[in-house]
Every structure is written in structure tokens, then in C-alpha cells.
Amino acid sequence: MNTKEKILSVALTLFSTKGYKAVSVRHIASDVGIKASSLYNHFENKQEILDELIKKNTKYIEDFLKDAMDLDSLIVSRKHNCKKQCDIDFIDTTLKIVKFFIENDNVIKFRKLLTIEQFNNPTLSALYKKIFISDILEYESKLFSYLMDKNLLIRNDPYILALQFFSPIFLLLYNDDKVTLEDYSTVEKHIFQFKDIYSMKG
């Protein structure tokens, strides 16, 4: 990790715990282990650091979701084991997304940063809603619609299903700073129960 990357890493940690306004350039530099004057060799000011963090982490999350939204990559065979394989794909894909948002340290810090700053900055408020709510609901809607077209889920409004599926996960996992094993277990039970309720029988 070079100096610029260290600055971004430290700044993200500080912004996500103290808030943007409460953190000074001097504070960031001190935690990095450099002089404040040296920090300006990499960034013009604190705002540029924030802008870079937003750009970098937004792209990182969007790239992940774009890959997850590649429904053609799901194994959907027309053979007799199609339903079984699709059930496995649905569970694996969903758990992969959930774990990404609750286990990835940078994603957690970025979410906390946006959670704090959404009340001070309309742009960041909109970004928070887009990344951590709208984009996830969009993916789940597409996934459910896809599975309905394959006659693997009961035909319903895919967006309403996405709301029903994601809302408990959002409330459970985003409400606490630390996710417990009990939380994981609850999420897994929710995913399996949802699948059992809405899967086509037979």
C-alpha cells in the first residue's frame, strides 16, 4: 500500500467513525504517519480525499453488483436437475451479496460514512439510498423475474418480492455495527424460508 492509498484508508476509517467535518487534514496525516504538508503532495484538500473515496468505493460496489447481476452466469440447466441447481444458485448468490455488504471492511466503513453524511449532504444521501437500497432491490427484482420466467418461482410482482426479501435483512444487519453468528443464522433461515414459500412446487 503506497502513501496515497494509506491516506485514503485512514481517512475512510476516520470519516466513518467521527464524520467528515470532525476530521482534519492534520489528523489524517498524523494517523498515516506523515506531516500534513506531505499529505498535500497527494491531495489538494480534505474534500478531494472525500471525493476520491466516494469515486473509488462507489465503483467497487457497482462493479460487484454488475457482476452479480450477470444472470446469464447462473447455472440454469434445462435438464431434470434444473430446479435443484437453481435453488442452489439462488441461495449461493444471495448469501454472496449479503456477505459482501456485511463482511467487507471497506464496504462497511463506506456505508457508515454515507450514513453519517447523508444528513449533511443531499448528494451523499442520494448515493446512500442508491447503493445500499435501490441497487440491491433492482438486482433482487431482476433475479426474481428471471426465476419466474424459468417457472422456478411463483409468479408475483418481482419488486414487491424484492422488498419482502430484502427489508428484514436490511433491518437486521444494518442496525448493528457488528454482525453476530445469530444474525447470520437468522439471515440464512430467512433465505431458505423465502425460497420454500415462493418456489414452484413439483
pLDDT of amino acid 127: 94
pLDDT in tens, 120-149: 899 999 999 999 999 889 888 988 898 888
Domains along the sequence of the chain with CATH = 53-198 (1.10.357)
**In degrees, to the nearest 5, what angle opens at C-alpha 75 toward C-alphas 73 and 81?**
170
Checking if the pLDDT of 75 tops 50, the result is no
Residue 180's pLDDT band (boundaries 50, 70, 90)? confident
Strand, helix or coil for residue 60: helix
Query: Distance between CA atoms of 38 and 55, rounded to whole angstroms?
Result: 23
Checking if the pLDDT of 169 tops 70, the result is yes
pLDDT in tens, 82-127: 556 666 677 777 888 888 888 899 999 999 999 999 998 999 999 9
pLDDT of amino acid 58: 95
